[in-house]
A and B are shown apart, each in its own frame.
Chain A
Amino acid sequence: KAGVTQTPRYLIKTRGQQVTLSCSPISGHRSVSWYQQTPGQGLQFLFEYFSETQRNKGNFPGRFSGRQFSNSRSEMNVSTLELGDSALYLCASSLPRTGGNTIYFGEGSWLTVV
């Protein structure tokens, strides 16, 4: 079956702009989570959505937001971009079990803010 798909794969934005990243989970997966990966901070949890509701949230400013649609696809949005937002943004999906579930990651969206 198809893996987690993220679009776009690469993008360049200017400071102050906003960006929307898209994620299509594995078919049947209803939980989608987002992570930011940077050389300095490593992999950091942004938020998780399940059944269109945000279930968990990391320590990121309100400029970072997300949503999930009824087909489990998810988007994340970053407004008023800053240079420090340059990162690889990873989406992951899983079945909604609280224990023993496997999280599958996408290839990520590389965001460069100039």
Chain B
Amino acid sequence: AQRVTQPEKLLSVFKGAPVELKCNYSYSGSPELFWYVQYSRQRLQLLLRHISRESIKGFTADLNKGETSFHLKKPFAQEEDSAMYYCALSYTGTASKLTFGTGTRLQVTL
């Protein structure tokens, strides 16, 4: 069965510091990986997906199949990045069935 692991419940960084939110997954096939974000009092929304290979709000994530990881990175944290971040996985044919990690709360302080 597929599983997504986010080892950190809380990550606290200073403004301007680099950010790395860790995500590891277990799945034997070819998964599709996502990062979702939930800002305070807002709905869960897609931040980025691995197939797009794009940078959103300065965040990037690279799928490393060898290490089964999909870590989210940003070189310089901003206050507005403070939010709950969820890594999620789906597999071919079940794009709407997401397996989520437990989430990491990112706290950016001055």
Number of interface residues of A (CB under 8 A): 29
Cα–Cα distance between A88 and B105 once the two chains are bound (Å): 18
| Also in contact, A43 and B86, with CB within 8 A (given A56-B97, A100-B49) | yes
How many chain B residues touch A (CB < 8 A): the figure is 22
CA distance A111 to B110 in the complex (A): 36
**Is B97 within 8 A of A42, CB to CB?**
no
Bound form: Cα–Cα A107–B57 in Å = 22
0 or 1 for each of A14-49: is its CB under 8 Å from B? (1 = yes): 000000000000000001010100000011110010
| A3 engages B102 (CB within 8 Å) | no
List 9 interface pairs A-B (beta carbons < 8 Å), by A numbering: A33-B98, A43-B86, A43-B88, A45-B98, A48-B97, A56-B97, A94-B95, A98-B95, A103-B98
* Residue positions of B touching A, CB distance < 8 A: 32, 43-46, 49, 51-52, 86, 88, 92-103
